[in-house]
Structure 1
Amino acid sequence: MENRIERLERAITISGLDTKQNKLQASIKSGDIKSQIGLSDKLSILMINEKGDSSYIGSSSGYSLFSFQGLQWIANKTKWADLELLLSQMTGHYRADWHHGNWCSFQGDIWNPAPAGDREPIPARNFAIKYVNIYFDVFNAVYPLYNRSIFDEHLHRQYSGNPPESIAWYASLNVVIAIGILSERMHCIKPNTVGDTGPSYELSWKYFRNATSCFTQLLFTDVSLMAVAALTGMAVVLQTTSSPHSAYILTSTAVRLSHSLGLDQPCDDFRISPAEIEQRLNVFWIVYMMDKGICLRYGRPSTINDEDIAVDLPRWESDIDRCRSGRGKFYAFPSLTRLALLESKVHSELYSARSRSKSDEEMLICIGTLDAELQDWKAALPIEVRPDHDIQCHDSSFLSVILLHFSYYNCLSAIHRVPLHLGLEIMDSNIRNCSLNPRLNYSAVICTHTARAVIDMLDFFSHDASPERANLIWISTHYLFCAFLVLFGNILEHPGDPDAFTDLNRLNLVTKLMSPPSATGHLSGYIRTLKTFEELANIAAAFLTCS
């Protein structure tokens, strides 16, 4: 990109269109661009282990302390010289070592077709109806992948002696039952509630395995709206495991299939029923939400170009249905969709290759605008579920509200990390010379507050050592580890902070609560990650003791 910029500048000069003012602006902007390109490269991570396996994590991920520049900063602050050990721990992860959380009874490749004799039989009608109902009551209210009337028509046929022959239906039924079992247990995660003795996680895994055995056919044989919904449901489930790579690949695949079906385009003139039009819209926006969330969390380009979207957002209905208890059911889907649009803008405007063409002043104006839009989004939420307020909602909505808070804090942190990376001196000089969002002057404080808020949310499920709590831990792993790194950096930067030792306790809480899942399966890759964070907590403790 630097060479491209220089060639462009030379071409303008040779053409005779250059003026003194243009030269001055180009000179200033070119310097800004080069510094931003270099900074972005230094804050990204490319991990390559001795087997040659590699994984790229971009600068929006929140893992910049594990970049070479970040490790150098740690070494300079702490006089800790053993960078090589930490680097070997970080690059020693073999994807094959990762296992699927609590679902440890299955050891094979889940994407291979399974012989009929190895599949879990479709359950009895009453069992299926129970967990389909739970799925629609708990999960589908947040991620409305299926239209209830269309799904019920297929379900009735399934037990009428003339079952549908569609592979997409078979995969969908199994995904819905698997999620229904998970939802029954995970929605009881709220403090002071007790889950019942329902089916085991192993059974949920078996139904999920039925669905994944159809993977190849869903891609190439039975390409349909229901196939996209099934793949998206699989990706959602895989976010509750220790393997984010699988969810990343599945989401990208679902996006490509949605494009092939035109889900991002209007279809009012194609004689499609209103129910199917609504489902097409919902499935597209759920895939969009997942794609943009993963994009921001792992610093990788999105599969969806926002400029190609020609459909409306989901209808914004009443967010809270009041119950007799006073705790309302919150329908998070419209709010999550609009947050995903903001996540997309954050990555595009602050972290993409195109964003590096902005001057520092333009970047700071953009940061201020995005922060204001995010605060407007937050203010539009009912106060019962608004971040930085006590959660007061129905138990069935609790998990979706927790995930909404995690996503909000992640987006806020991604916005306010950028001025810190640019440097406080640059930021201060720009604030004196142009009208900027005053919150930019407190970016470091905002990032620290956000990290504390994320870790403090562990109180919602630290009381319980059940498998469902462990699966919620997997969903929150990225947010907790990123928050850990922010507080770790703050301790090294400000050891005299009155909250430094409290923050150290937060670091230890993260490593303590992240430990139980590692005992439930063959998670050598995850265990190495956990050991890295335990080492960082030890470094922070030693640093505070010596300060």
Structure 2
Amino acid sequence: MPYIYPGASTGSSAGSRRTQSASFGLDSMTCFNWMHLLSEEGQKWIESRTGEKVRFEELYAPDLPWANTRRLYMETLNSGSIHELPSRCAVEGYVKQYFASFQSLVFPVISQSLFEKTLDLAYGPHSAFGSASARSCVYAFIAVVNLFEVGDNFQEAMDCGYFASAAQTFMVQLTQEMTIDGLQAVVMLILFQYFLGDLQAAAVSVSIATRLLYTLGANTMSGVDSSDCSHPDDKNIEECHLRYLFWICYSFDKDICLRTGQPPAINDSYCNLTLPSDYARLQDSNILRDTMSMDTHTLPLFPWDLRLSKIKSEAYEALYSAGAQRKSDSEILSSIRTLDEALDQWRVSLHSDIRPTLLFSHEMPVSANLNTQAVMLRLAYYHCVTMIHQASERGRLSNDGTAGGINTSISLAINASTSTLSYLQTVLPVVKGECFWVLLFYAITAILTLFRDILHNPLGPNAHSHVHILREVPDLIRRIPIRKLTVGEAIHLRFLDGFTTELARLGACAISQAQQEATAVSGTQALDSDVQYPL
């Protein structure tokens, strides 16, 4: 999640300067990347607020899936050879199953007709130009189809991780050939890595995909206006398909940068960000449908609403970029207001059946026709609210007259976080199992936002309720649907159980310490008032 460097000056005014310890506690407690909690400064700050030693073993697990991201890849390399691709007939069956599924509408990673040329290359002579990229593309496609469990009759002897690792072994040739097949391969690796929670690997893949997009011109072309397109959204036309690949990369890039705090790979100023024709209306109607008859002209839904992805990009640039570090607190608040207005304009533009409410509680009704895409839309909205308004936290100690705006903004971030957890409790039964890691990210963002607020304001009116929410989180996480419980997911669930339990314990300790300090201060004041001074 976005971060601000410890001890960095965040504004030119005296009210914007902080000590290093204060800066760490207020600025660098990120929402997702809890590794900041494990630094020496982080632990000192937590201990100063709670009076307790942090149980390090509960906040760090070296055997988490992304802590060993090289293991499977190295095993694939060390095996001496890569297993041959499945038969072309089997892969063609996977293609048909994929295009009959809803996932193909959300992730238009291949074009059914263009993929025939990919298969020709992949199953042709290996000496042909583009063969390596085509084989990588097929391996990556099998990994994604297996990940989403589209259809059946998959290669049961291999898991999706093997196929993803096999796709990566062609990376050197892929970056030399620079073809659309190579781009498709990397885009599918982004999906695979993102949905398995390996954001760092996904960020690297986005960077590679960005260079391919630039080389192929997908960042500046417009599928809508292409003279080759007889229909504005014809997936059979390479230019139109390239444009879809651009939007997939753009969406993941802007989401990942807000989750990791690292700058985006795609620079908006070098891109044509014109949305597909009639995008807003078609987006609403597609999400609202229970079933869809999909053809080559159906506008994709994409992983996130493209308008929201553009707001995410603006949010990172305005609030978390290097330039934003030089803004004063009042300038940051001005940027927050502008972004909040843009976000709300997007929200109210959505159809009422899928429009997120500003807040959500357990008592509120949800649509009877709720689907995974509508659920993810609302969670993405609450996450964006949190990321925009938590930027105001750097001004908690400010003396430049912005305290009122800062407190309001912090409250909005906290409300969005509690809404996230309440909404998850309500809608988990309708969410697809492959969304496990994505839902975890949203939950953890909310958890750490509440934890940080408890430590900042332990005597606040909501501190006790926030600790109660933290104590309920382990049960919530255990209820998140999983397509199948892998070893990595089991490890992560055990870790998160201990992690959230430790945060709840520390939060309760912070409240207890603050109450004791307040009692001691009031007792001292009472003694002082009883002292009789000589006349």
Per the alignment, in what secondary structure is the counterpart of residue 121 of structure 1?
Answer: coil
When structure 1 is superposed on structure 2, of 172-181 and 261-270 the one drifting more is 261-270
- Alpha-carbon deviations, 1:363-385, whole Å to 9, x = none? 21111010111111122222333
8 Å CA contact 1:167–1:218 kept in 2: the answer is yes
Provide closer, same or farther for how the CA distance between residues 168 and 138 of structure 1 changes in structure 2, counting only shifts above 3 A. Answer: farther
Structure 1 residues 353, 514: CA separation in 2 closer, same or farther (over 3 Å shift)?
Answer: same
Residue type at the aligned position of 1:141: L
Distance 1:373 1:96, change over 3 A: closer
C-alpha deviation, 1:31, in angstroms: 2.4
**Equivalent pair of 1:170/1:211 in contact (CA under 8 Å):** yes
Distance 1:288 1:352 in 2: 17
Q: Is the 8 A contact 2:340 2:385 kept in 1?
A: yes
Q: Is 1:204 matched up with 2:151?
A: no
Label 1:379 to 1:522 Cα distance change in 2 as closer, same or farther (>3 A): closer
Shift in Å at residue 334 of structure 1? 8.8
Aligned residue among 187, 197, 217 for 1:262 = 217
* Alpha-carbon separation, structure 2, partners of 1:528 and 1:163: 47
Asked if 1:478 corresponds to 2:441, the answer is yes
How far did 1:124 drift?
5.9
User: Does residue 179 in structure 1 map to residue 134 in structure 2?
Assistant: no
1:326–1:245: structure 2 CA closer, same or farther, 3 Å change rule?
closer
8 Å contact from structure 2 (residues 143, 164) kept in 1: yes
1:250 and 1:270 map into 2 onto residues whose CA distance is: 28
Q: Which moved more, 1:481-490 or 1:91-100?
A: 91-100
Give the corresponding residue for 1:98. Answer: 67
How far the C-alpha of 1:458 sits from its partner, in A, is 3.8
Gaps of 5+ in 1: 7-27, 46-56, 186-194, 432-437
Q: Secondary structure at the match of 1:333?
A: coil
- Picking from 481, 486, 501, the partner of 1:534 is 501
Query: How do residues 343-492 of structure 1 correspond to structure 2 at under 5 angstroms?
Result: 343-388=312-357, 392=367, 398=372, 400-423=373-396, 429=402, 442-459=408-425, 469=433, 471-492=434-455
What code does the residue aligned with 1:228 have?
L
Compute the displacement of 1:338 (Å).
1.7
Cα deviations across residues 4-50 of structure 1 (Å, max 9, x unaligned)? x99xxxxxxxxxxxxxxxxxxxxx962269638979973699xxxxx
The alignment partner of 1:144 has SS state of coil
Q: Report the Cα distance in structure 2 between the residues aligned to 1:261 and 1:219, rounded to whole angstroms.
A: 12
Distance 1:250-1:446 versus aligned 2 partners, 3 A rule: same
Corresponding position of 1:219 = 175
Q: Which residue of the partner structure matches residue 231 of structure 1?
A: 186
Give the aligned CA root-mean-square deviation in angstroms: 4.7
Question: How big is the shift at 1:328?
Answer: 6.1
> How many Å apart are 1:456 and its aligned residue?
3.2
Contact 1:231–1:250 (8 Å) recurs in 2? yes
Partner SS for 1:319: helix
Q: Deviations over 1:408-439 (max 9, x none)?
A: 222211111122331276586476xxxxxx8x
2 CA distance for matches of 1:446 and 1:383? Answer: 22
Residue in 1 aligned with 2:473?
A: 507
- Distance in 2 between residues matched to 1:126 and 1:272, nearest whole Å: 32
Equivalent residue for 1:299?
261
How big is the shift at 1:146? Answer: 2.4
Q: Secondary structure at the match of 2:13?
A: helix
Decide whether the 8 Å contact of 2:32 with 2:444 is kept in 1.
no
Task: Give distance in 2, aligned partners of 1:132 and 1:66.
Answer: 47
CA distance in 1, matches of 2:382, 2:331: 24
Deviation at 1:509, TM superposition (A): 2.8
Q: Give the Å deviation of 1:394.
A: 6.7
**Pairing of 1:152-163 with structure 2 (within 5 A):** 152=116, 154=118
1:141-198 per-residue CA deviation (whole Å, 9 max, x = no partner) reads 112222333225655898999999733332323333332233346xxxxxxxxx9897
Q: How many residues align?
A: 481
Aligned-partner residue type, residue 169 of structure 1: A
- Equivalent in the alignment of 1:35: 17
Structure 2 Cα separation of the partners of residues 277 and 168 of structure 1: 19
| d(CA) in 1 for partners of 2:346, 2:253 | 20
Distance 1:95 1:503 in 2: 25
CA distance, structure 1, for counterparts of residue 498 and residue 136 of structure 2: 37
Letter of the 2:348 counterpart:
A
Cα distance in 1 between the residues matched to 2:26 and 2:83: 42
Tell whether the 8 Å contact from 2:382 to 2:416 is kept in structure 1 after alignment: yes
What letter matches 1:343 in structure 2? K
Structure 2 distance, partners of 1:508, 1:96, is 19
- Cα distance in 2 between the residues matched to 1:33 and 1:488: 25
Q: Is the contact between residue 51 and residue 510 of structure 2 (CA under 8 Å) also seen in structure 1?
A: no
Residues 136 and 443 (structure 1 numbering): CA distance in 2 closer, same or farther, change over 3 Å?
Answer: farther
> TM-score of the superposition, structure 1-length normalised?
0.71
- The secondary structure found in structure 1 opposite 2:195 is coil
The CA distance in 1 between the partners of 2:466 and 2:222, in whole Å, is 56
- Mapped contact 1:44–1:67 kept (Cα < 8 A): no
1:284 Cα offset (Å) = 1.3
| 2:170 partner letter | C
CA distance in 2, matches of 1:200, 1:541: 47
Read off the aligned partner of 1:373 and give its amino acid letter: A
Corresponding letter in the other structure for 1:214: F
Distance 2:19 2:172 in 1: 40
Identity %: 20
CA 1:537–1:218: 2 relative to 1, 3 Å? same
Following superposition, the deviation at residue 539 of structure 1 comes to 2.5
Report the Cα distance in structure 2 between the residues aligned to 1:77 and 1:427, rounded to whole angstroms: 25
Distance in 2 between residues matched to 1:254 and 1:34, nearest whole Å: 39
Residue 162 to residue 444, structure 1, CA distance change in 2 (3 Å):
closer
Structure 2 distance, partners of 1:539, 1:143, is 41
CA deviation map 1:181-235 (0-9, x unaligned): 33346xxxxxxxxx98977594434443442332222122x31122112101111
Q: Partner amino acid for 2:140? A: V
Contact in 1 for aligned 2:305/2:377 (Cα 8 Å):
yes
From the superposition, tell whether residues 298 and 136 of structure 1 become closer, same or farther in structure 2 (CA, over 3 Å). Answer: farther
Unmatched runs of 5 consecutive residues or more in structure 2:
231-236, 293-298, 516-535
Counterpart check, 1:145 vs 2:109: yes
Alignment partner of 1:246 is 2:215: no
Task: Report the equivalent of 2:47.
Answer: 75
Deviates more, 1:480-489 or 1:340-349: 480-489
Residue identity in the other structure for 1:306: D
Q: Distance in 2 between matches of 1:309 and 1:250?
A: 19
Contact kept, 8 Å, 1:181 with 1:204, in 2: the verdict is yes
The whole-number CA distance in structure 1 between the counterparts of 2:155 and 2:203 is 28
Superimposed CA distance per residue, residues 507-541 of structure 1 (whole angstroms, 9 cap, x where no aligned partner): 33356558999971498799667644432233335
Preserved CA contact (<8 Å) 1:387 1:405? yes
* Contact 2:222–2:274 (8 Å) recurs in 1: no
Tell me if structure 2 keeps the 8 A contact 1:37–1:356.
Answer: no
